[in-house]
Amino acid sequence: MNEFLIAIHRDLKSKDASPSPEQMQASIKPFQEWIGKLIAQDRLVNPYRRWDGVGRVVKKDAVTDGPYAEIKESLGGLIVVRAKDYDEAVEIAKGCPILEWGATVEVRMALVNA
């Protein structure tokens, strides 16, 4: 088993890309089901936590309010899961319901020091 970072990127900056309150509400349950399913399979490496969407962006000479958006998309949620390989981790990532609302999900494998 390897550990994979699954990072959900969403457009948090532009007004028109923000989901409506109804869409937000509608996405909660499927997201909760997806996370619930992963925890039930004991795939989550750490206890699940929600991350603040705004945060701070730190550079050498300035700290600004986030979210970081040099590109259009910023980091939304992130979880670390156990999976055999990239194929399996990607399968897990494909289940992320936020994809329906235009998110991009990034998968990265943790490298083991050999």
Partner 1 sequence: MEDQTLLPHLFRTEYRNIVSVLCYLFGIQHIETAEDLVSDAFLSATELWSIQGVPDNPRAWLYAVAKNKTKNYLKRNALFENRLSKEIKYSADKTEEMEIDLSEKNIADSQLAMIFTICNPCNAPESQIALALNLLCGFGGQEIADAFLTNKEVIYKRINRAKEKLKEANIKIEQPTVVEISERLETVLKTLYLLFSEGYYSTSQDTTLRKDLCSEAMRLTSLLIENKTTNKPAVNALLALMCFHASRFEARTNEKGEAILYQDQDQTLWNKELIDAGTVYLNRASTGDELTKYHLEAGIAYWHTQKEDTTEKWESILSLYNSLLILEYSPIAALNRTFALSKTHGKKAALVEAEKLKLTDNPFYFSLLGNLYSDIDNEKAIQHFETALRLTNSPGDKITLAKNIQRLKETKAVN
Q: Least distance (Å) from partner 1 to the CB of residue 95?
A: 11
Binding mask 27-56 for partner 1 (x = CB under 8 A): --x--xx-xxx-xxxx-x--xx--------
Closer to partner 1 by CB, 21 or 47: give it: 47
Q: Least distance (Å) from partner 1 to the CB of residue 37?
A: 6
Binding status of residue 94 toward partner 1 by CB under 8 A: no
Please write down the HEC assignment for all residues of the chain: CEEEEEEEEECCCCHHHCCCHHHHHHHHHHHHHHHHHHHHCCCECCCCCCCCCCCEEECCCCEEECCCCCCCCEEEEEEEEEECCHHHHHHHHHCCHHHHHCCEEEEEECCCCC
Q: Least distance (Å) from partner 1 to the CB of residue 61?
A: 38
Residue numbers of the site for partner 1 (CB under 8 A)? 29, 32-33, 35-37, 39-42, 44, 47-48
